[in-house]
Structure 1
């Protein structure tokens, strides 16, 4: 990777003119200014058992521009030999180092496509930013990394069913996930006014209700009434008890669509990583994370280092589409700029002009797989495109399930579909429900 300052801007010899009466002082940017990056170690082996421990510290020197400058920094990571066209990007602010915990570095490595349990190499550079247009890239350093599989299996055979759940009494049920305590399961869901019960395997053979409305469960017991809201449901199969508590996490701030007053951008629980995530479009501004759309429990980032502090400082963001990931176990977060994918066409509700039918990201796919299991289409044509724009779009020239950039429209018949695309394999599926 070249060590370079945006040449076009520097040809302009960036200068600032300050006038006092007839005197002018011309300040010229030092074109030899540079940051030098070092690593605390050149090789790391990452394991799930050490997820909360420090893995590596990336440090860099302050560049000498020849004058005082307000600079910010970003760490860019790519597989060794890559061209940094689609790097992992970590905004740092004005600090001169970043310590990655094992879990965070592992997530970056997996997102770059590194194979778990195999040693690979990551190239790292630091980008110095004087302005949106004026940037400088440091020397390149290489880190040998052995990542681990971050996909957890927290699944259970138990679920929540009922008229208050999204799928009603017929299911499929809202899943319970394993907690850190054996036999204690949790579910995160939004309910409407209605009734719920707990059952195993989406079947009535083994089910529990609450005869006394006292928080204890009985086999085949009475339906449990609930009021509308977003809940954390805890089911203790050892003691046959349960709790329902109002529970949600969200993103709030003037960079979000609803501002500081909310309602917040909802974060979705991801059981494959035991983290909370959201796909969100932000504007230039500030954000924080808070619980239950309320300031009673909120987190910011005092050190601009990717770690959260209770009641911490507002987090500055620039406009863009983001995958937001928050780990409330070790109080870390990431903001990763991504393309949002959707379905457009005469067969979709909004036609060729959009807005497109939104696709959700499969968090286990390293950004490759996007899907929507409930899409109503009419007889007509569809294509896939990024960010509601024709700049990047895919069709199918051979009508064979493979995608081509700018390819032919895809013919569909009316129905309700499960749709998915794989951006790595350039394939898609349309399954009528």
Structure 2
């Protein structure tokens, strides 16, 4: 009897396995490998403009193929230069969605990443990839798009700079930079100087330099050093008239939401030449803020809905860490939440618990963060986001390459500048330079 039951059980199992095998064979039989997505573009050619960054410029869509059975595909859009092999394609996942609309601000960095030149039209190949499980990937025929990106960062650089005992890097440089203005051969610098002397020179060299023999605002080639007192200034160099002006000049944030309240000192805004804006990364409380010049109320701005108004109303904010950007040329401002990197550790100013010494974004280089100056003790450090350990990096190989949750980094006591570079997400790096 026992033998009979065992044999019957084997028969049942055999039939079940056979049925499962048949189902798999049937699944393979009805899966149509030609059931590829067909790509449709809302326009065959687009020109992107920086002033229209938030406008939708392109929609890529496709119909769900008839796979012959109920399939939950995961879709991705792949972009490559015309004629490319897609080995260096930019991939945008859409999940189960059958279309994706792009604003100019979303599409422009994709074009630049592929090597397109701002202001010049170039052709792209686009395809949609449908993934059904790990082994099955179906790819659409190519669609072609002609696209013209815009320069998403300004280049206001000039060959002119400020050098001297009052400058950050002394007489040896590198010099503090001047930037272009809307007037030819009139350049401007926004600098914080120590008490001492300065001169103006070209290309970080002494071949062409200007001083002021009469201390009267007139420039002479190879002239006398210009004496300055400690402070934050706007220096304007007129290379047409060979004159210069040095004016006290700073912008800052003040208010109940700022760390020092309405009495200040103000949170300083820093000039960003890549966007011609004044910017700061700041942790704010529940409250209000305004933007003012030189730490007093003679010139101040408020506003609402991103529009600046001279002497306008207070700007209400909620608690958080923000990137505040002020564009005086356009009369606008933004207050955007941002994740901020910091240094924690036994060597850091506030130990492992923080608050961390904070980095600032390098606005001219996406993914790069800079800590200009920090004094460390002998010990260990790591880099983490938002004063928390949820996202942190160390260095397992002590080779300058960062690993997520990697080993502590050993440092000796000293004052340093630190740069984090996440521009290559696959191999982020860091550099620690003694000051």
1:404 and 2:403 correspond: yes
Pick the aligned partner of 2:223 from 221, 234, 251. 221
| Residue aligning to 1:238 | 240
Structure 2: distance between partners of 1:111 and 1:259? 38
Instruction: Report the Cα offset of residue 323 of structure 1.
Output: 1.0
| Residue aligning to 1:320 | 320
1:429 and 2:414 correspond: no
Preserved contact between residue 342 and residue 386 of structure 2 (Cα < 8 Å) = yes
| Residue aligning to 1:258 | 260
Structure 2: distance between partners of 1:82 and 1:287? 39
Figure out how many residues of one structure are paired with residues of the other and give that number.
Answer: 324
Instruction: Report the Cα offset of residue 81 of structure 1.
Output: 5.3
| Residue aligning to 1:371 | 370
| Residue aligning to 2:20 | none
Question: Given the superposition, is the C-alpha separation of residues 249 and 381 from structure 1 closer, same or farther in structure 2, using an over 3 Å criterion?
Answer: same
Instruction: Report the Cα offset of residue 288 of structure 1.
Output: 1.5
| Residue aligning to 1:158 | 160
Greater displacement, 188-197 / 312-321: 188-197
Structure 2: distance between partners of 1:120 and 1:190? 49
Alignment deviations for residues 38-90 of structure 1 (CA, whole Å, 9 cap, x no partner): xxx99974325xx3x79649xxxxxxxxxxxxxxxxxxxxx97569xxxxxxx
Structure 1: distance between partners of 2:335 and 2:105? 12
Instruction: Report the Cα offset of residue 427 of structure 1.
Output: 1.3
1:385 and 2:387 correspond: no
Greater displacement, 253-262 / 356-365: 356-365
Structure 1: distance between partners of 2:251 and 2:167? 19
Mapping of 1:4-403 within 5 angstroms?
Answer: 45-48=47-50, 51=51, 56=55, 148-302=150-304, 304=305, 306-366=306-366, 368-377=367-376, 379-403=378-402
Question: Given the superposition, is the C-alpha separation of residues 336 and 146 from structure 1 closer, same or farther in structure 2, using an over 3 Å criterion?
Answer: farther
Question: Given the superposition, is the C-alpha separation of residues 110 and 288 from structure 1 closer, same or farther in structure 2, using an over 3 Å criterion?
Answer: farther
Preserved contact between residue 54 and residue 105 of structure 2 (Cα < 8 Å) = no
Preserved contact between residue 248 and residue 291 of structure 1 (Cα < 8 Å) = yes
Preserved contact between residue 253 and residue 269 of structure 2 (Cα < 8 Å) = yes
The higher radius of gyration belongs to 2
Question: Given the superposition, is the C-alpha separation of residues 44 and 194 from structure 1 closer, same or farther in structure 2, using an over 3 Å criterion?
Answer: same
Preserved contact between residue 395 and residue 403 of structure 1 (Cα < 8 Å) = yes
What 5-or-longer segments of structure 2 have no aligned partner? 1-41, 57-90, 96-102, 127-146
Preserved contact between residue 53 and residue 105 of structure 2 (Cα < 8 Å) = no
Question: Given the superposition, is the C-alpha separation of residues 401 and 230 from structure 1 closer, same or farther in structure 2, using an over 3 Å criterion?
Answer: closer
| Residue aligning to 2:70 | none
Question: Given the superposition, is the C-alpha separation of residues 162 and 373 from structure 1 closer, same or farther in structure 2, using an over 3 Å criterion?
Answer: same
Structure 2: distance between partners of 1:275 and 1:166? 22
Instruction: Report the Cα offset of residue 108 of structure 1.
Output: 7.0
Structure 1: distance between partners of 2:53 and 2:274? 22
| Residue aligning to 2:29 | none
Instruction: Report the Cα offset of residue 272 of structure 1.
Output: 1.3
Structure 2: distance between partners of 1:422 and 1:112? 19
Question: Given the superposition, is the C-alpha separation of residues 373 and 265 from structure 1 closer, same or farther in structure 2, using an over 3 Å criterion?
Answer: closer
Query: What TM-score results when the alignment is normalised by the length of structure 2?
Result: 0.65
Preserved contact between residue 308 and residue 331 of structure 1 (Cα < 8 Å) = yes
Query: What TM-score results when the alignment is normalised by the length of structure 1?
Result: 0.66
| Residue aligning to 1:14 | none
RMSD in angstroms over aligned alpha carbons? 3.3
Question: Given the superposition, is the C-alpha separation of residues 107 and 279 from structure 1 closer, same or farther in structure 2, using an over 3 Å criterion?
Answer: farther
Preserved contact between residue 53 and residue 104 of structure 2 (Cα < 8 Å) = no
Alignment deviations for residues 116-142 of structure 1 (CA, whole Å, 9 cap, x no partner): 768999xxxxxxxxxxxxxxxxxxxxx
Structure 2: distance between partners of 1:107 and 1:300? 27
Preserved contact between residue 402 and residue 429 of structure 2 (Cα < 8 Å) = yes
Select the structure that is richer in helix: 2
Preserved contact between residue 235 and residue 244 of structure 2 (Cα < 8 Å) = yes
Instruction: Report the Cα offset of residue 365 of structure 1.
Output: 3.4
Instruction: Report the Cα offset of residue 205 of structure 1.
Output: 2.4
1:419 and 2:418 correspond: yes
